[in-house]
Amino acid sequence: MMYTEYFGPVEGKHLRDFSSQLEKAARKLQQGGLLAFPTETVYGLGASILNEQAIHRLFRVKQRPKEQALPIFVANFNQLRFIASEIPEEAHRLSRLFLPGPLTLILKRNCNLSSSIVGGMETVAIRISSNPIARRLIELTGCPLALTSANRSGKPSSLKAQHVLEDLNGQIEGIVDGGETEFGIESTLLSLVDPDKPQILRTGVISKSQIEGALGKPVSLHPKALILMQGPIFKDLKSAVRLFSTWEEIKLYIRMSPKSKRLIMSDEEMPIPVEEFFLLNDKNLYEGLRIAEWNGYSEVIVHCSPRIKKNLLLLNRLKQIART
């Protein structure tokens, strides 16, 4: 087992004070290592796009199927021309409003880009993170980075450095601790392969209506956009997740079911006495699932309040998790 070097904690607002740590972390990437670091959504695990061995190892450590393309993170919009063969006007419009930020653009790829990164496809997913640590690491590495979420496949995404260490300690070269991520849920995935027919492939932080407002045209939803793009997301989750609309349904389920160790989640204070409760919000769903894993809860019961039902992003994540 290798040694995973810890860098931090690093404060994004004062990067100059941590320049030596970030330079050392970037050298890990330059030398073909794998490095975990924060983005504005979740922690990512990155490798240099110029190192084919590092890319193959990224798939192996993540336990990610090779046909699933890796997103590429760039430091700024100008770097898109090295990754994409065509940059439509729609991408420029979106960049003025949402980039850097939690929006991933699907564009036609540059033919010089390694096919192993894009899973043999003719398109590429590109991100410009609003997290200053992520952008600075890309600048210091000297090339864009292929990235995937920094968690073991089938487990909840990592929102803190501690989550990454629990999943990947001893398997990667380093981790930059930038504190808790801002949004705690994935980016919106938007295809501009046909700029006249923009399509959301995965719902995320930036909404359909926001994108339509920026582009001044309708945006379609891929049939699977509301349940994520690539099948079950937490297939290895040990705690069964069950969704209920009312507290009365939850009371009845608890009364009629065999006694077990349960965690109740809701964005409302509970009107019923239970042993363990987690106050749910837009950003901490994955944190709650990890708590359930750590403490050996056999079930996670989620009260889908009227507010949660109106929050389509959170509701869709919950529905997908309950399906796995």
Tell me how long the chain is: 324
Residue-level pLDDT at 185: 85
| pLDDT digit string, tens, across residues 120-170 | 899 999 999 999 999 999 999 999 999 999 998 778 889 999 999 999 999
Fold assignment, 5-225: DHBP synthase (3.90.870)
Instruction: Kindly report the number of other CB atoms within 10 A of residue 17's CB atom.
Output: 10
Residue-level pLDDT at 231: 38
Place of tokens 């794998």: 34
| pLDDT digit string, tens, across residues 23-58 | 999 999 999 999 999 999 999 999 999 999 999 999
pLDDT, greater one: 202 or 164: 164
State the Cα–Cα distance between residues 153 and 306, nearest whole angstrom.
32
Q: Decide if 290 contacts 200 (C-beta within 8 A).
A: no
Q: What residues does each domain of the chain span?
A: 5-225, 240-323
Q: Decide if 199 contacts 219 (C-beta within 8 A).
A: yes
Give the residue among 172, 120, 119 at the shortest CA–CA distance from 149: 172
- Indicate the residue type of 257: S
- Indicate the residue type of 251: K
Cα dihedral sign, 213-214-217-220: negative
Q: Which residues of 242-267 are buried (b: 16+ CB within 10 A; e: fewer)?
A: ebbeebeebeeebeeeeeeebbbbbb
Mean pLDDT of the chain: 90
Residue-level pLDDT at 238: 76
13 pLDDT higher than 80: no
What is the pLDDT averaged over residues 207-226? 89
Residue-level pLDDT at 232: 39
Residue 239 binned pLDDT confidence (cut-offs 50, 70, 90): confident
State the Cα–Cα distance between residues 270 and 82, nearest whole angstrom.
52
State the Cα–Cα distance between residues 11 and 21, nearest whole angstrom.
12
Q: Decide if 29 contacts 35 (C-beta within 8 A).
A: yes
- Indicate the residue type of 234: F
Residue-level pLDDT at 152: 85
State the Cα–Cα distance between residues 242 and 222, nearest whole angstrom.
26
State the Cα–Cα distance between residues 35 and 18, nearest whole angstrom.
16
Residue 324 binned pLDDT confidence (cut-offs 50, 70, 90): low
State the Cα–Cα distance between residues 26 and 276, nearest whole angstrom.
42
Residue 201 binned pLDDT confidence (cut-offs 50, 70, 90): very high
What is the pLDDT averaged over residues 110-115? 91
State the Cα–Cα distance between residues 285 and 249, nearest whole angstrom.
21
What is the pLDDT averaged over residues 54-79? 94
Residue-level pLDDT at 321: 84
pLDDT, greater one: 10 or 11: 10
